Structure 1
Amino acid sequence: MTAMNATPATADVRQHILDVAHPLLLRKGFTAVGLAEILSAAQVPKGSFYHYFGSKEAFGEAVLEAYFADYLGRMDELLAQPGTAAQRVSAYFHDWLDSQTGDEAQSRCLVVKLGAEVCDLSESMRAALARGTRGITDRLARCIEAGRADGSLAAPRDAAQVGAELYQNWLGASLLAKITRDRTPLDTAMASTRQLLGLVATA
């Protein structure tokens, strides 16, 4: 008979380490968080860590991949809701606004926190960021195209360019809101998003 305190499956332990590390990285960044702190928080021995991740760099790449998997899953849910494409894309940006002005550290954007730091440290982590952010802009572009098809959006340029511009605006606004500790940049991003997409006030 299997013991009640049997060791969790490998995938579960690996995910546990990633889950525990996520808020640490949001608070401190990648370089400032040492392996000892991660191991202590996760309550796993050093040998176990290297069983799941070959290096801290490989671990950082895995953290980013897990973050984007969750983020894109949430984005897919928002962009698959009933209603027009304008209503769906508006729900996505309202969700972004709420996540960046919430009290929970886990609501903050890992791209804002780690983007500039790790791109100069690790090519594999930079590539993970590039893949993840491309997933975001691709989804925005598809929603914008759908908005043109259903007549709810009136973006004047090609959808891919508009999707990339919107993401850049919101990423920059999130960074400025973090610097200033003021939500005004995010409110400005929302206003410019409505103008760019031709969203009506009730969308």
Structure 2
Amino acid sequence: MLAANADVRQHILEVAKPIMLGKGFAAVGLNEILQAAGVPKGSFYHYFESKDAFGEALLDAYFAGYLEQVDAVLTAGGGSAAERLMRYWARWRETQASDDPQCKCLAVKLGAEVSDQSEAMRAALLRGTDRLVDRLTRAVAEAIADGSVDSTIAPYATAVTLYQLWLGASLLAKITRTGQPFDAAIAATRRILSLPDQPA
């Protein structure tokens, strides 16, 4: 049972995330989420006016947490900006290839499902992905500034291309149930950034 002073809204979102990652949005009913959260059904509408509003809040919360992780990966540790950017893609591969559904990307899981059904959730996905592309654009610009990638690369266009590449790889990895799409994405990323091939 939740303590009286607990942040019930945030608790509902945290409990719902792994359920949504496992089943998707449409397949999960409010009762399942509220039962898992230990929250009475009547109080749900105190925090969210509809299931769509809940989905929007879930995506906003997901991206807020994810972008903190991205900032940490892109700024922490030694090495060049290009090396930090490649560490980010290596982390993407590691998490998305994992068998643990809690490691998966909520944007990949819900993007195709909800974008045609909920304008609020589509807008939340767009806000979140735009913010991620902004981080990647800055990372590419930093790599140009420190000389670790080709100075002729356009930061924003490159960031968009890389994000689209990795979204596609994540979907194909789900379809093929192999890591091959991520191998191809790593190789393509290195080519796009004009980095030397990794040793075999």
Normalised by the size of structure 1, how large is the TM-score? 0.92
Deviation at 1:31, TM superposition (A): 0.7
Structure 2 residue aligned with 1:80, among 48, 68, 75? Answer: 75
- Work out whether 1:100 is the aligned partner of 2:112: no
Distance 2:101 2:3 in 1: 32
Alpha-carbon separation, structure 1, partners of 2:151 and 2:31: 49
Matched, 1:7 2:12: no
Between the aligned partners of 1:28 and 1:13, the Cα distance in structure 2 is: 23
Determine whether 1:197 maps to 2:193: yes
Does residue 179 (structure 1) correspond to residue 175 (structure 2)? The answer is: yes
CA spacing shift, 1:181–1:126, aligned 2, 3 Å:
same
Query: Where does structure 1 differ by over 6 angstroms across 4 or more consecutive aligned residues?
Result: none
* Secondary structure of 1:174's aligned partner: helix
Aligned to 1:65: 60
Question: What CA distance in whole angstroms lies between the structure 1 residues aligned with 2:100 and 2:160?
Answer: 27
- Whole-angstrom distance in 2 between the partners of 1:6 and 1:146: 46
Equivalence for 1:24: 19
Q: How many residues align?
A: 197
Q: What runs of 5+ residues in structure 2 fail to find an aligned partner? A: none
Q: Cα deviation per residue 1:92-138 (whole Å; 9 max; x = unaligned)?
A: 10110110111211111111110011111111110100010011111
Give the aligned partner of residue 144 of structure 1: 140
Structure 1 runs not aligned, ≥5 long: none
165-174 or 26-35, larger mean C-alpha shift: 26-35
Output the amino acid matched with 2:28: V
Return the offset for 1:155: 6.3
Q: Is the 8 A contact 2:95 2:104 kept in 1?
A: yes
- Residue of structure 2 equivalent to 1:46: 41
For residue 85 of structure 1, what is the amino acid of its counterpart? Answer: A
Is the Cα–Cα contact under 8 Å of residues 155 and 198 in structure 1 kept in the other structure? Answer: no
**TM-score (normalizing by structure 2):** 0.94
Q: Distance in 1 between matches of 2:114 and 2:167?
A: 16
Deviation at 1:201, TM superposition (A): 4.7
